[in-house]
Amino acid sequence: MKYEDFLVTSLGKGGVISPLKKNQRADSPVYKFVNDSERILYDVSLENFNRCKESGEIPVSFEKAGPRETIYFEPAKTKVGIITCGGLCPGLNNVIRSLVNELYYRYGISRILGIKYGFEGLIPKYNHSVIELTTTMVSNIHLTGGTFLGSSRGDQDVEKMVDTLEIMNINLLFCIGGDGTLRGAHDIHKEIEKRKIKICVAGIPKTIDNDIDLIQKSFGFETAFSIANDIIRNAHNEAEGAFNGIALIKLMGRDSGFIAASAALSIQEVNFVLIPEITFDLYGQRGFLRVLKKRLEERHHAVIVVAEGAGQEFFEAAVNDKDASGNIRHKDIGVYLKDKISEEYKNKNFPHSIKYIDPSYIIRSAPANANDSKFCNLLAQNAVHAALAGKTDFVVGFWNNHFTLMPIPMVVAKRKKIDVDGELWWNVLEATGQPITMKNP
């Protein structure tokens, strides 16, 4: 990673005085607007400071988000589109609501269109209607989970989508979605560049798994592991309620175990956390089934949390088995584990009782908790500030407790994963007491 990689594209120098500036009264405190040159360090260790100082290297850093004194788009002539893509995630409605409120109340923009059902809504053949969003219309949407705009998975024809944007005279497009969506947004930006038109594309990263790279936390993630925390608490009752009772909970996490790990760290009642980052054996001396049996013999109950992407090595690679978003469709490790445990212990005549819980949709469809709500509101406000200032092909991130702006390609280059030699996973091992490895030598 180099400093240069993280310079955000801009449509041009803004010449319009921001309404935020104009609304400041003469006698009011002077708010410090943010400069384009303000940046947040990626690495906050003193060691890195010393290293960069010695080598003369400019340290990797991210542009600071926040309101600019002058902006690029003239509010009265600006038209906005908002789109939500992919699976549900707590906070989507908070983001939509805050985008609309910020655009309307702070920047005076009243032409705001809600595109329905994700990228499908930009493709004529689906014939989805468009919603003219008002602050009244969105005033209570954050009380419920889901997305007010509807969503869909999968790519759509980029040229057709840009045609629609042109026909609708949209100047700013806010795309709320995950990896795939952000890649789609980047492609839209490329097409816009090719056509030499002035449309800004802003990405608002959405990943319930919290696995978008270079982003400290994504909205909905905390709500997700908080609900998981409560579900595991009760699942623990199921485990203890039977002799050699096993509660097996499958949580989200296609490629990373952040939700599983965080839930285990908050509830502190989980005995095994299985994540995509670490392969394990079922059978043999060190295999999971034997380790689990030992735990049951000692304590007569066990709580297991498995991330949905764990143990995929047990299934034959099925390269073409992808969902509409292009994600590899994972075999169900939860059901697989449940069956294998039952089979093995039945064969061994080992009395046990297993309860399998898959709360995925219950979690995804919940409304955001208070902290996520606050985060969504600020995230949306910063997306609006940046887009109005003419930034494009960017995502709003969060790093070292500051909102940041980054080029889309940098955050979708790879997925964030748990460092299995690092602090987070070490804490999980401490909390669960599970073996460091369940691989046979």
Question: 388 to 427, contacts with a copy of itself by CB under 8 A?
Answer: 400-402, 420-423, 426-427
Q: What is the DSSP letter of 102?
A: I
Q: CB nearer to a copy of itself: give 189 or 425.
A: 425
Q: Minimum distance from CB of 39 to a copy of itself (Å)?
A: 4
**How many residues form the binding site for a copy of itself (CB under 8 A)?**
106
Query: Measured between alpha carbons, how far is 119 from 98 in angstroms, rounded to an integer?
Result: 21
Residue of 229, 256, 325, 434 interacting with a copy of itself (CB under 8 A): 229
| β-bridge pairing 61-64 and 39-41 | antiparallel
210 binds a copy of itself (CB under 8 A): no
Choose which of 1, 44, 76, 167 interacts with a copy of itself (CB under 8 A): 44
For a copy of itself, the binding residue among 18, 81, 96, 98 (CB under 8 A) is: 98
CB-wise, 46 or 319, nearer to a copy of itself?
Answer: 46
**Contacting residue, 11, 71, 88, 412, with a copy of itself by CB under 8 A:** 88
Q: Look at residue 344 and give its three-state secondary structure.
A: helix
Distance of closest approach, residue 58 Cβ to a copy of itself, in angstroms: 8
Q: Which of 2, 22, 29, 347 binds a copy of itself (CB under 8 A)?
A: 29
Query: Quick check: 18 binds a copy of itself (CB under 8 A)?
Result: no
For a copy of itself, the closer CB: 178 or 192: 178
Find out whether 20 and 106 touch, Cβ atoms under 8 Å: yes
Question: Among 14, 75, 145, 178, which residue interacts with a copy of itself (rule: CB under 8 A)?
Answer: 145
Q: Give me the phi and psi of 199, to 5 degrees please.
A: -125, 130
Contacts (Cβ under 8 Å, ≥6 apart) of 289: 282, 283, 340, 341, 344, 345
Distances in Å between the alpha carbon of 14 and those of 17, 23, 70, 342? 8, 18, 6, 65
Interaction of residue 298 with a copy of itself, rule CB under 8 A: no
Helix axis angle for 258-267 and 221-240, nearest 10°, is 60
Q: Is 377 left (phi over 0), alpha (psi -120 to 50) or beta?
A: alpha
Q: Decide if residue 252 touches a copy of itself (CB under 8 A).
A: no
> Is 209 designated active site?
yes
CB-side neighbour CA atoms (13 Å) of 379? 32
Q: Is residue 371 a contact residue for a copy of itself (CB under 8 A)? A: yes
Instruction: Give the range of 197-205, 290-298, 303-311, 349-357 binding a copy of itself by CB under 8 A.
Output: 349-357
Contact call for residue 27 and a copy of itself (CB under 8 A): yes
User: Phi, psi at residue 262, to the nearest 5°?
Assistant: -65, -40
Pick the binder of a copy of itself from 19, 369, 409, 415 (CB under 8 A).
Answer: 369
Is 125 one of the binding residues for a copy of itself (CB under 8 A)? no
Candidates 43, 157, 187, 209; catalytic one: 209
Among 74, 132, 157, 230, binds a copy of itself (CB under 8 A): 230
Task: Label residue 4 exposed, middle or buried (CB < 10 Å: 0-12, 13-18, 19+).
Answer: exposed
Among left, alpha and beta (phi > 0; psi -120 to 50; other), residue 285 is alpha
117 touches a copy of itself (CB under 8 A)? yes
Between 73 and 356, CB nearer to a copy of itself? 356
Binding status of residue 39 toward a copy of itself by CB under 8 A: yes
Q: Is the dihedral of CA 99, 104, 107, 113 positive or negative?
A: positive
List strand residue ranges (DSSP E) for 54-129, in order. Answer: 61-64, 70-71, 79-84, 111-115
358 lies in the site for a copy of itself, by CB under 8 A? yes
- Asked if 322 interacts with a copy of itself (CB under 8 A), we say no
* Among 242, 287, 328, 415, interactor with a copy of itself by CB under 8 A: 242
Would you mind telling me the total number of residues written for the chain in this entry?
A: 441
Instruction: Tell me how far CA of residue 210 lies from CA of 3, 131, 159, 218, in angstroms.
Output: 24, 30, 31, 5
Contacting range for a copy of itself; rule: CB under 8 A; set: 63-71, 169-177, 183-191, 305-313:
63-71
Under the binding rule (CB under 8 A), the answer on residue 12 touching a copy of itself is no
Q: Least Å distance between CB 355 and a copy of itself?
A: 5
- Piece in contact with a copy of itself (CB under 8 A), picked from 38-46, 159-167, 181-189, 204-212: 38-46
Residue type, 58: I
Active site residues: 209
